[in-house]
Structure 1
Amino acid sequence: MKPLPEIRMSQARPMLDDRPMAKRVGLIALATDHTSEVDFQRMVAGPRIGVYVARIDYANPTTPENLRKMQPSLTEGARLILPGEELDAICYSCTSASAVIGDDEITAAIQAAKPGVPVVTPTLASVRGLRALGVSKISVLTPYTVETSRSMAAYFAGHGFELVNFTCLGFDDDREMARIPPALLVDLAREVASPDADALFISCTALRAAGVAADIERAIGRPVVTSNLASAWNCLRLCGDEKARPELGRLMTMPLAAD
């Protein structure tokens, strides 16, 4: 073996950027989630924005009781995303749990580890998105059971939306929800979107609905807001990215208004 070269220390220490990425978005995903991380890498991550993911324990079936059990894990999940460093936004990617636990409780749990960080939930992001689109009457499609869907219906009614109709598919396993073909979601949207509604809301971060949002809008002739589309839009706007991306759906052309 040839002798190793002498290892020398450089006399000039390189200058450092303030951050490897200009903006940083944290994503807290369920251990069972197949979709959120993929959607965020596609819609949010880019040359200026990095997406940093932590996963927390979750066990099916998707019931209000199991969803509520995630709340104690949120602080630790947030702490594990770039410890000691600031984030520009952090999203807890579970729509049904956000409705069950509550936006304020989720924000408090995350900010216990990341003080002052803007917290995004799919529920609150969807409310902001629907309001940005000028919507008051909505059709709703969820993959959940009737029991789990009740919290979702109460959430949006509580935020002042008129629920023209509400359809659920009866699934109780988020891994199966992720296997619903996107083309089938377009067909389902066409069936359930009421002509009396201003828009369609499709709930669940497991569904691959964001990728076909523009297709759904063409099929039903009105705006669609999905959980991951709304969360991605909200996080982009919090990072100062105002670029209109109509190919992703009408929501991605809208500014984020102040709450």
Structure 2
Amino acid sequence: MDVRVSDLGTPGTSPAFSAPDAVRRVGLVVLETDLTMERDVARLLHGSGLAVHANRIAFSNPVSAESLAALETSLSAATAALIPGTPFDVIHFGCTSASAVIGDDGVSAAVRTAKPGARATNPIIAADAALKALGVRRLSILTPYVPEIARPVADRFAALGYDIAGLTCWAIEDDRDMARVRPDVLIREAVAATDPKADALFISCTAVSAAEVVPLIEAEVDCPVVTSNQAAAWLALRLCGIDHDVPGGGRLFSRPLAPGDRKGTA
């Protein structure tokens, strides 16, 4: 059998090939035990034109200050393994509690060591940008963590200037169990966790399947609801210059970045 070889030219110079940066790319570094984040972000970014790629980072349950802090040592390597040599617009480290324990500077430094041209974000950065876009001052927080992990998350938001109206936790130690909390239970818990005087509710943790029920919770509590994965997707869109709304994404997606907010800027 004769084989016809078609000459497309040399990649990088031939018009047959698109430029390496022709597609805007968002990278996720996700805990190897997380059952939820990729699904949520893919759903919320569907149709946006952004390509989403994920890599897993080794993690051992239970969720504790020690297991979360240990992620910092392997974060650069996990980030570097996201399609080596391919430019990314945004790299998002997908763990809210680890971001609180390690700190924004530590997370961003690890990400930018591996991908210096990308904007480095994490759920704390994304949620803060989302809450500022919504004009939130007084905040209720719902987390799945044990109290020893829930408190540092709340303390991080307090340090960012929010008045914490209330903190609720479920005391779950395994993030795979966090992902299995039923939607009806999640809605009930979210309503109970929202202080009537709060400007918004933040539901922490990329493992919790909260993004898909945000509109239902907002209808019950009559205030904006921000989740870790929802905020990650929203901020990725805004940092890539995409301002469109996402049906079913909640009130947040109708908002642009707050004036002067440059969250995640490389």
Aligned: 1:139 with 2:166: no
Query: How far does residue 252 in structure 1 lie from its aligned partner after superposition?
Result: 0.8
* Conservation of the 8 A alpha-carbon contact between 1:103 and 1:121: yes
State the AA in 2 paired with 1:104: D
Query: How far does residue 45 in structure 1 lie from its aligned partner after superposition?
Result: 4.1
Aligned partners of 1:69 and 1:251: how far apart in 2?
Answer: 32
Query: How far does residue 150 in structure 1 lie from its aligned partner after superposition?
Result: 1.4
Give 1:226's aligned residue. 227
Aligned partners of 1:11 and 1:140: how far apart in 2?
Answer: 58
Aligned partners of 1:242 and 1:193: how far apart in 2?
Answer: 28
Question: Which digits, 9 at most, give the CA deviation of each residue in 1:17-62, with x for residues without a partner?
Answer: 2248621000000000100011111112436211011101000000
Give 1:182's aligned residue. 183
Does the residue aligned with 1:247 lie in a helix, a strand or coil?
coil
Q: How many residues align?
A: 255
Give 2:12's aligned residue. none
State the AA in 2 paired with 1:46: G
Give 2:3's aligned residue. 7
Deviation larger for 229-238 or 15-24:
15-24
Deviation larger for 40-49 or 114-123:
40-49
* Conservation of the 8 A alpha-carbon contact between 1:138 and 1:197: yes
Instruction: List, as ranges, runs of 4+ consecutive aligned residues in structure 1 with deviation greater than 6 Å.
Output: none
Q: 1:119 to 1:12 in 2, by over 3 A?
A: closer
Give 1:197's aligned residue. 198
Does the residue aligned with 2:30 lie in a helix, a strand or coil?
strand
Per the normalisation by structure 2, the TM-score is: 0.92
State the AA in 2 paired with 1:16: F
Q: 1:45 to 1:72 in 2, by over 3 A?
A: farther
Question: Which digits, 9 at most, give the CA deviation of each residue in 1:91-112, with x for residues without a partner?
Answer: 0000000000001110000110
* Conservation of the 8 A alpha-carbon contact between 1:21 and 1:49: no
State the AA in 2 paired with 1:50: A
Aligned partners of 1:12 and 1:101: how far apart in 2?
Answer: 48
Aligned: 1:172 with 2:168: no
State the AA in 2 paired with 1:134: G
Query: How far does residue 192 in structure 1 lie from its aligned partner after superposition?
Result: 1.4
Aligned partners of 1:130 and 1:11: how far apart in 2?
Answer: 52
Question: Which digits, 9 at most, give the CA deviation of each residue in 1:113-167, with x for residues without a partner?
Answer: 1013101100111011111100000111000000111111110110000001111
Aligned partners of 2:237 and 2:76: how far apart in 1?
Answer: 23
